[in-house]
Each structure stands twice: as C-alpha cells, then as structure tokens.
Chains A and B, each alone.
Chain A
Amino acid sequence: MAKTVMPFGPQHPVLPEPIHLTLVLEDDIVQEVLPNIGYCHRGIEKGCERNAYWKNPRLVEHVCGICNFMHAQAYCEAVEKALEMEVPPRAKYLRVIWAELNRIRSHLLWLGLLADAFGFESLFMQFWRIREKSVFLIEKTTGNRIIFSTCVVGGVNKDIPNDYLRGEFTKVLKEIKADVEELLPVLLKDPTVKARCVGKGVLSKEDAHKLGAVGPTARGSGLRQDMRLTGHAAYGELDFEPVVEPDGDSYARALVRAKEVLQSIELILEAIGKIPDTEIFIKPDHWPEKEAFSRIEQPRGELIYYVKGNGTRYLERCKIRTPTFANIPPLLAMLPGCEMADVPIITLSIDPCIACTER
C-alpha cells in the first residue's frame, strides 16, 4: 500500500494548543513523525533581557498558564544562585506548598482532559469539579485563580497564616484527597479506558533514558528520575520517594499522574507540619554577575533555567528549557507503529504544553 501523509494539528480537538505533526501512514499504521512547532513563539527569553531582573518572575509566569508558579520559582532559584543568596526557610516551605498546589491543579486538569479525550464527559466534569477546590485554595492564598504572582527573587511576597494552613487549607486538601480516591478507580478500572491506554505508545526504560524523557513520561517508563530528589527549596527536608511505574505505556503515565496528586497532598500536609516561623523575603543587595543553572520538577517534568548576569540589573541571557520540549523526541519514538486513531491519546499522554515549548 502506498504511503499517506496525514497532518495532525495544528488545530485538533484534543489539543487546544497548536502543534503540527506530519504523520506518514502505511495503511492505518504510523511510520514516521515530524514535528513542527513555532505557532506561538513569543520571544519571552528575549523579553527577559529587556526587563530588570526582579521584574522577570511576572513575565516568565506567562510562559505557561498551568504551571506558572514553577516557572517563577525556577527563575527565582536561578537568579538567587547567581546572586549567591539564601532564601529564608519559611519562603522555601511556602514555595513547596504553592508548587505542589500547582501540581495538583495541573494533574487534575490533565486527568479531566484525558477523560474528555475518550468522550467520557461526566468524568471530565467530575475531575474539574475537584480541580476547582485546588483553584479555590490558590485564590484564597494568593488572591489569583491562575497566575500565582507570589514568587519573587529573594523569597515570596505573600505569607499564609499558620492557623489558616492548619485550618481550612488542610480541610480542603483532605476533601480533595477523598474526592480523588473516590474518582480514580472510575477512570483507571474502566474497561474502555484500559482498551485505549494499556499497551499503547510504549516507551521502554532504555529508550526513555536515551531520548531524554522527563517527568511522568520518564517515571512511567520505570526511570527513577525526579528533580525534587535534588532537594531544592525545602524538598530536602521532606520525606519523599518518586512514583515510578515500569510499564511505559499511556496507562502507566496516567497512573503516575494520578498517584502524584495524592503524593502532592501528602507533601503539602508534611510541609504544613514542619513550616518554620521566619521572615519570608530578603532583599537582594546587589545585581547578578554570575551564571547559574537551576532545575525543578514541574507537573510535566524537569524545567530548566540558565541565567547569566553581567553586573547590571538586566540579564545577559535567560534560557528556558521546558519539559515538553524534552518530551517531544520520546513522542517521536512512541508514535511509529501505533494506529492513527491512537495518535491523539498518545500525544496527550506526554501532557504536551506547546506554549511552554515555544516560549
């Protein structure tokens, strides 16, 4: 049979964001994939050179809407390293709490989208109902529903009172946990879901390492890889072991994300128990002169910031490597051999964020 070239995207019902995959098909089987991005390149890296360095957290938060706090956190950690300054312990814990809250929101959003991709509308709405509770907590603690705007170079700019953390905050988190535990079997034990996910888009452990997979994509293939293990922010003081699933298919990646929601809740509760009472912000006393490299674990994987200062209030270079950018080569390896009808689900299973990828 002759080869068919089929365009996937840039407009596709499963992905609200524009990525274009050129699929070369034989019969209904994918043979070759070529990605084409660049539909929403905004030049944010260049923009970081134009702003005074302390204004950039507001800008890099807009790289991506669903993981914005992590972008600000990774940027701030990089600049703090370049400034050779230490952040107060309470700020570190607050960063952990907000980052994990961000992860809960992002994963619940993705689980909903996955259900939606199967046409499982009611489950989609149920997941987004739980997600709304995490958005409520974000709004209560930061004043905003989506963009946190709390991370600044030198600490955080808002504090959460201890009695709120131990009161309503903990209560709502436990509600989220109960809700998720109730809903997850519905998604994961459903025969249709299993038929569409199990054994689809397999990425072996060796391939995952060779192709540089990150985040749940890597952990779903059995790699024990999590940037939280590096102990940045307050993660070093928290008891934590990454969720690893050995199978390497779409189902394993979904399972990793589902378990990480529960793990994040445990992490926040542990952080609330250990949070010290110190100040939350130290004003930087000079301008960055050095180069620094920071990486943190985003909902989608390893996020990297490389910054170079030059002794002025402007950075000379700010390089952002987002997890989806690293997960595209593994995607190119997952797709060949699958059916055309499975392409959307497999693409979704790496949780692609194109706005991140192109910056």
Chain B
Amino acid sequence: MREERISTIGVEKEVLVDLEEFISEVEKMAGRGARFVTASCRDLGEEGFEIIYHFDIDHKVENIRIKVPKGREVPSISPIFFPALLIENEIKDMFGVKFIGMAIDFDSKLLLHQEAPKIPLLKPSWDKEPAPERKIPPCREACPAGIDIPGYIRLIEEGKYKEAVELIRQQNPLVAISGRVCFAPCETKCRQTIEQSPLSIRLLKRYASDKAGFDLDKSKKPDTGKKVAIVGSGPAGLSCAFYLAKLGHQVVIFEALPKPGGMLRVGIPDYRLPQDILEAEIKTITDLGVEIRCNQKVESVDELFNQGFNAVFLALGAHQNVEMGIPGEDDEKVLNCVTMLRRVNLGEKVEVGEKVGVVGGGNSAIDAARVALRLGAKEVTIFYRRTRAEMPASPEEVEAALEEGIKIEFLCAPTKIERKGDKLAVTNIKMKLGEPDESGRRRPVPIEGSEYTVELDNLVIAIGQRPEVSEKLGVNIGRGNRIEADAMSMKTSRDGVFAGGDVRTGPASVVEAVADGRKAAIAIDKYLGGDGRLYVPEVPYPQQFVMRRDMKEARKQIPRVEVKKLDPKERVKNFNEVELGFTDEQSAQETKRCWRCDWNE
C-alpha cells in the first residue's frame, strides 16, 4: 500500500506506506539527496503506533508515515540515515517501539538509566479530554469560611438537600443561621454580576437548610479524653465546639448570658433570625455531646485549667457599646444599642417614645432602628455622618429599613444632648466629606455654624462595639480592647489559650467568626496532639460535566429571583421573620443561573 496524501499542514509532500515498502521508500528519499530531520511517534493505543519520518529537501519537508501494530518490529533506517539512530533510540525509550538493525543500539540508556525502571516514558494520549479539574471560584474565594458554593448549589439543583447541607457543614456548621443573617460577600464576587444581578447564594443556603431540617449527621470520632473549654457561645464558639466535638474531644461552653448564642441571640433581632431556628441549630451541636453552661461568666483562665481543661478558646465577642463622648449622653432616655437589643431579644420590656433617633451607619444601627419601630415608635430617624455610599451596613438591610418608613439623615452628627422635660433636644452639626482616611472612606468634616436642633423622645447610640476583656485572663490585649491572636492559628500570647471571633477582629460578621472558630478547632486539635484534620463526612460531588461555554449563554438570560417578604406595613407591628425564603420553583430557577466557575476550563 502506498498512498500520497497531505494531512500535515506545513509539509510539501507526504506518503503513507506499509512496513514492507517502507525501506524502499526511504532509499528513494536518500537517492534524492534528502536530509533526515526527525521522526514523530504517536501512541494510538490499541491500533499500535504511528511514526512520521520527516525529511528535508532544499528547505521543503517531506514525510513518510507508517503505522506499526503493537509488538511488530520496525526496520531501522539508521543504516541509510545515520542521524536517525538518536531518535530511534529515543522512540524506543519513550514508547517501547522495537527497531531492528539500528546502527548503534544504546540499549535503553539514551534517556533512561541503568537504575531507572525500563518502562515507556510516554504513555498513550487521552483520546477524550482529561477529566476536568476543580478550582476555587471567585465566590468561594470571597467567603471567609471558604464554603464550596457551586458544589452545594449543584447538589440543591439535583434535589440532594441533606448532602448540600453536609457540604456546607464541612466549612460552616451554622447553616440555617448563616442562610438568614450572612451578609454574603460571595454574592458581590459572583460572576453572573458581569451580565446581570448576582445569584442569591445566601437564600439558596437557607432553602437547603429548610428542606433538610435539623436531623443531620451525628457521627464523630471516638473519645480522645481531652477537655476543651470554650468561653462564649457565639458563632465562633459554636463552630469551634462543633469541629472539636466531631474529633472526639470533650467540649464545655461557658456563657455569661442566660441563653446560649452570643450575638446571634442578643445582637440579631428576631425578625431576621427567629429564636426557634437558633435553638434548633444549637441543638445540632449539643447533640454531639457539647455541654453549654449558661449564666457562668469566666473571669480567669487559670480557674479553667485547674478544673482539668487542656485548652481554652476565648470567643467573648464584642458586647460593649462605644460611647460618643458628648455632653448629656448619660441621660436615661439615651439608649445604648447593645443593651437595648439584648433586652429585647431576651424578652425584657423596653419602652420607647414616638420619635426615636439612632446614631450610626452600621448594621446594628439599622437593627436598632427597625427594632424601635417594632417596639411602637412612630417615627424613626437614623443620623449618619457620611453618605449612603460610605455606610458599612449591608445595602439590603438599608433598603429594608427604608421600605419600613425609616428615615436616614446623612452628613450629620449629634454634638450635644439636652433634657427638655419629657423630651430630648439633640443638637446636630452638619458635615461635609473631606480627604479619605485609612479605611479608604472619605472623612467627615464638620461645617462650622451649621448646628440645628431636633426634638426626640429617645436617642439610640449605635456607633460601634468593642470587646470587653478583663486583664485577669492573662493574655495580651491590643488596640481597641481586642485580644492579640495569630490570624491563622488563633494562638494568643499564652500557651494553650486561643482566641477568635469579634474579640480578636473587632466587630465583624457571623461568617468571619465561624471561620475563626473552625481555624481554632484545627489549631486546638494540633495542640492536643491530633493531626489537625477535621472529621467531616464525605459528600459525593456530582462529576457530570457541562462545558461552561455550552451553558453560559442560556444561563445569562435567567433573571434573579426576588424573594417574597412580608408587607412592610404589616411587618413593623411584630417580630415575625421578614424574609419568607424560596419556594421550590424559585430555588429551581435560581440554581439554574450558576455558571459553575469552579470547573477549570
């Protein structure tokens, strides 16, 4: 068989010949004065090998192509073209093709060595594409806890809600809670934002948790006999307790307040996080054998070590209100945001007048304003010293507050509070924005002589919180009353004492505290002699693969689903949960918008 056909681009002439005619074809080439260039071999798997010999005649390439069945010997061309001996030896080493009559046989020592195993270096190429690999997508990168977001969205899409929740619990044990209160940094990084609005990642998490319920995996490792004390039952403490209990350590949480949950309990109002959800989520952790001792304020770490604990995790939170430092602030009509929210959440009675003002621009200021509305205030105004663009509160919360009829006055701050009978006269000064400060936001500068007075029944101060840490703990305390701890290992200055959550970072978010708790669990396990590998159930990830370019165009078209909320006029009368969560159809539509950026294409 001899066939002339050019299938390689960039080649002048090409012949496909049988093994029998091969040598005569090479001799013809030698007769024309060709120069041997090289040979390319390809392993075709079952079909054998394909070897292409390239020759050069006056700067033009001509090919001779042969197919060799597996196990057949190829006649060497090195007696005709001496330089071919190197490539023939290389093909022999790389592919295991046998040649007969080579000018010099290096005996598999050209590329391989005496010591090296005599196996072919180049195995057959993949006929289809290699299995795609997963990588960290932008949303997962943005998540402080590093939750596998496209993974659980995919599981929800397939209706595997329990598996989805278990996948989230590998990184974050508070699924139902973060499905309601997380400020979702992942959504800002969602690549769907390029085309339209991002995925509702947080609400999908809540949907999975609602569907899966709280009867979750309770497996854990056998008892190790080590005892860990966790001070504070907030998100950091709970997440640390969850992972340590799974590893078989005995965990006791000490809580100063009468009910567990920390800021989840006393900082987040019920209309965002219902108490029964919180109870149920905490129960999934206590079910693992974690003991929570309420009404026990821990003053000293030594006491805990004396009680037989091997390690201590301090997750005290940031429960002290920052004061403004203006005259009249200690008036009884001036409320403290942390205390007010705590009393409301613990079921104590708090009375507010008709006109309430709130100072501050963070999430707690918005919470205080919305709580005041629910406590019976008729008119609530938020005073913030910068503009809406600089507000640290999450835009969704601000939007919800505006819907409920809360007014926000920008570029103003109180300078003086006076008592006038039953009412407060608050003197405000107007501000303008100046140069950016170290946080990158523009600094407010007071405009002189622009003071004006507002008459209010109550004023709530919500300009920030800071941790309340006593010196007796014996750990280094840094700026802003925070405990100094390593950001990766949560180690404090004292051996065996770890700290994380708001007490380390200053007031931050639930998900950051959860991430701190998880990191602390790893560090504590290592400290107690473990290998630092958390015990989490394996979740089979669906391997079926769809190319992004095949589905992206269709997925771009689907709009974001708006979640149903209670009517603003009705919801301000009670503390019922505002967001109603996704229905089955809504979640089905929302999961179909994910681009699956986690596949490396």
**A interface residue numbers (CB < 8 A to B):** 34-38, 41, 43, 45-46, 49-50, 52, 78, 81-82, 84, 209-212, 225, 227, 229-230, 290-295, 302, 304, 306, 308, 310, 312-314, 316-317, 319, 321, 325-326, 328-330, 358
Contact = CB atoms under 8 A, between A and B. Distances in A.
Given A326-B38, A329-B83, 6 more contacts: A35-B110, A43-B122, A46-B122, A82-B9, A293-B63, A358-B111
Secondary structure type dominating chain B contacts? loop
A329 B86 contact: yes
A52 B123 CA distance: 18
What are the 4 tightest A-B residue pairs by CB atom distance, in nearest-first order? A212-B83, A38-B111, A321-B38, A319-B40
Nearest to B52: A306
B54 A293 contact: yes
B121 A304 contact: no
**How big is chain B's contact interface, by range?**
35 or more
Contact of A81 (B9, B81, B87, B127): B9
Interface of B: 7-11, 33, 35-38, 40-42, 52, 54, 59, 61, 63, 81-83, 85-87, 93, 104, 106, 109-113, 121-123, 125-130, 601
Nearest to B36: A212
Contacts of B10: 78, 81, 292-294
Nearest to A36: B109
Contacts of A313: 129, 601
B8 A302 contact: no
Nearest to A209: B35
B112 A49 contact: no
Contact of A321 (B35, B37, B93, B128): B37
A45 B122 contact: yes
B125 A316 contact: yes
Contacts, number: 106
B129 A291 contact: no
A37 B61 contact: no
A293 B61 contact: yes
Contacts of A306: 8, 40, 52, 54
Contact of A293 (B9, B35, B86, B123): B9
A29 to B, nearest CB: 20
Contact of B37 (A38, A292, A302): A302
B122 A325 contact: no
Nearest to A310: B127
A312 B59 contact: no
A339 B487 CA distance: 66
Contact of B9 (A52, A84, A230): A84
A211 B82 contact: yes
Secondary structure type dominating chain A contacts? mixed
B81 to A, nearest CB: 7
B104 A293 contact: no
Contacts of A45: 122
Contacts of A292: 8-10
A186 B96 CA distance: 51
B125 A41 contact: no
B86 A290 contact: no
B83 A314 contact: no
Contacts of B122: 43, 45-46
Contacts of B601: 52, 313
* Of B37, B61, B121, most A-chain CB atoms within 10 Å: B37
Contacts of B111: 37-38, 41, 358
A49 B111 CA distance: 20
A38 B112 contact: yes
B576 to A, nearest CB: 52
27 contacts: A35-B86, A37-B110, A38-B110, A38-B111, A41-B121, A46-B123, A49-B125, A81-B9, A209-B33, A229-B59, A291-B8, A292-B10, A293-B11, A293-B63, A302-B37, A304-B54, A306-B54, A313-B129, A314-B129, A316-B42, A316-B125, A317-B125, A319-B40, A319-B41, A321-B38, A321-B87, A329-B86
B125 A304 contact: no
Contacts of A35: 86, 110
A43 B90 CA distance: 13
A98 B309 CA distance: 67
Contacts of B40: 306, 317, 319
Nearest to A227: B59
Contact of B129 (A36, A46, A212, A312): A312
A209 B30 CA distance: 11
A49 B126 contact: yes
A128 B41 CA distance: 40
Nearest to B109: A36
Contact of A328 (B7, B8, B86): B86
A82 B10 CA distance: 9
B20 to A, nearest CB: 25
Given A293-B8, A325-B86, A329-B83, A317 B61 contact: no
A313 B547 CA distance: 12
A304 B38 contact: yes
A304 B36 CA distance: 13
Contacts of B41: 319
